[in-house]
Structure 1
Amino acid sequence: MTSQGLSPSDIASVVDALRELRVRSLQSRRRINNPPRLPSRKALGAVVEELAAALFPHRLGADELDDEGIDFFVGYTLDKCFRVLEQQVRRELQFSAEQAGSPVDGIDERAENIVRAFVSRLPDIRVLLDSDIVAAYEGDPAALSVDEVLVCYPGISATLYHRIAHQLHRLGAPLTARVIAEIAHSNTGIDIHPGAQIGPSFFIDHGTGVVIGETAVIGQRVRLYQAVTLGAKRFPADENGVLIKGNARHPIVEDDVVIYAGATILGRITIGAGSTIGGNVWLTRSVPANSHVSQAQTRSEIFDGGAGI
């Protein structure tokens, strides 16, 4: 028997039910006459792809670009990205103002200023990404070229998205930045909050399952492997039981640190420069520079004296 698909009445009943739920949700938030327009995940995904092409036009840009046409391509792409990104940031500012009950005056100018400042920082982002690509090439014996690293490695893709998102976060567009970060998370399995501060020559090898929290600070020439977590140990709440936002709760990882697969590092602790953290280590206390921490050592330190997870 051949399926006849949904009947008009079937579709109409589902549409009606969804409308009722949508209206109920808007009424509960007092938005029935003013539903929010949030930054578009689809639009921002396209913007980042275009920005990547402008940053690396020979390798990620249009096919068959020559030296005469490349500057035109980059300029055209940046202009297009500026317009779309400005619209998305404007949506965020409008939404945030409505949420806070603040005046919406001057939002157009603020959005333009944020995006203009962001575009001016693209050369700095390119310098950082060049250092990340070289670090990946030099840190992975399987890498045959820097070009392979750029177009194939999920760690570099996630880092590229993060470098873009971090600048937007710093400039006053945290929701737009968070959407970009979550696109990278979906694409690569690597979850980096846009607030995290990451120095140059950063390399995530393999990468699936890596989590880097909002207030993490990572120095230069740091290398992480898959399933590493730089997370919070606890989530303090205020007197009303509401979680306190924005407090420094994630690790500081100093220069030249290597953290192997599956390591979990929690809380506002410091991993001293030049240290190596072994695979599957659970670490909740600071270690000095040039430390070598293995799983067996960590177990004895954590559980001696009744301490624990």
Structure 2
Amino acid sequence: MDKDSIVKKIKKHKKQPHLRFRLKEKVETFTDLLFYTLFDIDTPVEENLDRLEKEFDALVAMACWDVDKPCKKIWENYMSQLPEVLERLNLDAEAIVSCDPASLSIEEVYMAYPGFYAIAIYRLAHGFYQKGFPLVPRLMTEYAHRQTGVDINPGAQIGKSFFIDHATGVVIGETAIIKDHVKLYQGVTLGAHYVAKALQNTKRHPTIENNVTIYANATILGGKTVIGENSIIGGNAWVTASVPANSTVFHTPEIKIKTLPNVV
């Protein structure tokens, strides 16, 4: 097959008129700029908000396919919510410092904790998700996912003072509800019983009430599953039904140790 034939066949199968990977790169640049604007002491806030607006306009041009570009109106309202988002993120950082004996300073949390970074990008993306501009927030949280190993869907609802310790492997589904002062460890999944497109507009993921701790590699599934407040879910637990408040749920593995006799 000659080059011209190959080119024609490739063009024939490039069927998505809006698929521009440049959008992904621009979202990542926008996300970094937004994060620095809120946290970096050397980054000028006023100047960067103007720059962010221009960057957002460029995202709208690529990701809002309606001819009237209604997504362009989102920015002003989103910008007004940033102080509240920052306030929530500061509470998240303070929760990490107060809960983790390994944290040496709050500056360390902002700069070195992957769990905090994943939460920050989720909170920044969630505002866009709420405004009905879905692709950009999904690209934002996937950017954080790639860097941290934490997969938080921007549609999840997460309350105050949230802490993800060690972070890697955490999955939080789109319709999950997490209330205040919740702590998760690595490998926790808040997922659905099963995946079917017909369930798109239903609550598929669990609700976690206030002051719950969920230890490493626990899996909690189902939209009707509620973990009651002040409960502790132990490591490796598999939970598919609601748990009353003030409960402890644990998985007991069977451990056998076989010792060979000494060989002379």
Query: Cα distance, 1:51 vs. partner?
Result: 1.1
User: What's 1:262 paired with?
Assistant: 217
1:290 paired to 2:250? no
1:1-309 maps to which residues of 2 (within 5 A)? Answer: 13=3, 17=6, 19-26=7-14, 29=15, 34=17, 36-37=19-20, 40-58=23-41, 61-62=42-43, 73-94=44-65, 97=66, 104=67, 106-107=68-69, 110-236=70-196, 242-268=197-223, 269-296=225-252
Distance in 2 between residues matched to 1:78 and 1:249, nearest whole Å: 36
Unaligned segments of structure 2, at least 5 residues: 255-264
SS in 1 for 2:33: helix
Distance in 2 between residues matched to 1:20 and 1:35, nearest whole Å: 19
Counting helix residues as a fraction of each chain, which structure ranks higher?
Answer: 1
Larger Rg over CA atoms? 1
**For each residue in 1:238-281, what CA deviation from the matched residue of structure 2 results, as whole angstroms up to 9, or x when unmatched?**
xxxx5431310100000100000000000010000110000000
Residues 208-217 or 81-90, more deviating:
81-90
Aligned length: 252
Q: Is the 8 A contact 1:90 1:111 kept in 2?
A: no
Q: Which amino acid in the other structure matches residue 242 of structure 2?
A: S
Q: Which amino acid in the other structure matches residue 241 of structure 2?
A: R
Residues 75-84 or 250-259, more deviating:
75-84
Distance in 2 between residues matched to 1:44 and 1:250, nearest whole Å: 27
Distance in 2 between residues matched to 1:81 and 1:192, nearest whole Å: 23
- Closer/same/farther in 2, CA of residues 150 and 16 from structure 1, 3 Å limit: farther
Residues 137-146 or 36-45, more deviating:
36-45
Identity %: 40
- Give the alignment's TM-score, normalised by structure 1: 0.77
Query: Cα distance, 1:52 vs. partner?
Result: 1.2
User: What's 2:259 paired with?
Assistant: none
Unaligned segments of structure 1, at least 5 residues: 1-11, 63-72, 98-103, 237-241, 300-309
User: What's 1:302 paired with?
Assistant: none
User: What's 2:257 paired with?
Assistant: none
Query: Cα distance, 1:86 vs. partner?
Result: 2.3
- Give the alignment's TM-score, normalised by structure 2: 0.89
- Closer/same/farther in 2, CA of residues 16 and 131 from structure 1, 3 Å limit: farther
- Closer/same/farther in 2, CA of residues 145 and 35 from structure 1, 3 Å limit: closer
Distance in 2 between residues matched to 1:177 and 1:256, nearest whole Å: 27
